[in-house]
């Protein structure tokens, strides 16, 4: 059976070959550029609908930059609020690290591509500091490189719409 999301990402040109250093610091001969594909409203909308069906939540959150359009799409699909986790400290205005109300809320954290889980660990920490309950992380793509175990050790489920192997399957190089 063909994974619909993997097919959309393939057709959208998400896979680029070359020498890349991932956010995790790991080296890879391919890069899955989900952010560029998410600029297509049809794909973004479909992903939003898929994710909102995967777990129960009061608020959907994403770490800037990659998680923000996904959080917005899920918010629109679910009609539930979203929150943005800043990737760095803000030194002006209210200086909030999180935009949106997450205190005492059940929050699902969304991510474009997950490898080791570094950016979601940051997001989980920030959410928990603000009193959120995080039990589920949903990624569009799981590179299957350790994030699932890292999150499971914290009592958090990792769900993914697809994985790197499904996306790479059938691509002509």
| Residue ranges in the chain modelled with pLDDT below 50 | 92
Please give the pLDDT value at position 116: 84
Q: Domain coordinates of the chain in residue numbers?
A: 44-163
| Fold classified for 44-163 | Rossmann fold (3.40.50)
Give 75-106 pLDDT, tens digit per residue.
999 999 999 999 765 554 555 789 999 999 99
Please give the pLDDT value at position 26: 84
At residue 131, the 3 state secondary structure works out as coil
Q: Tell me the whole-structure pTM to 2 decimals.
A: 0.91
């Amino acid at each position: 059976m063909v994974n619909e999301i993997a097919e959309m990402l393939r057709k959208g040109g998400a896979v680029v070959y070359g020498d890349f250093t991932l956010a995790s610091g790991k080296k890879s001969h391919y890069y899955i550029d989900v952010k560029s594909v998410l600029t297509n409203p049809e794909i973004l909308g479909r992903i939003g609908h898929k994710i909102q069906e995967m777990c129960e939540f009061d608020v959907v959150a994403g770490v800037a930059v990659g998680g923000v359009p996904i959080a917005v799409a899920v918010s629109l699909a679910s009609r539930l609020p979203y929150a943005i986790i800043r990737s760095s400290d803000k030194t002006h205005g209210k200086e909030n690290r999180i935009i949106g109300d997450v205190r005492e809320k059940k929050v699902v954290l969304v991510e474009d591509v997950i490898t080791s889980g570094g950016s979601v660990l940051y997001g989980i920490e920030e959410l928990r500091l603000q009193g959120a309950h995080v039990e589920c992380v949903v990624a569009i793509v799981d590179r299957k490189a350790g994030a699932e175990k890292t999150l499971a050790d914290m009592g958090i489920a990792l769900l993914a719409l697809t994985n790197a192997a499904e996306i790479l399957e059938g691509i002509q190089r």
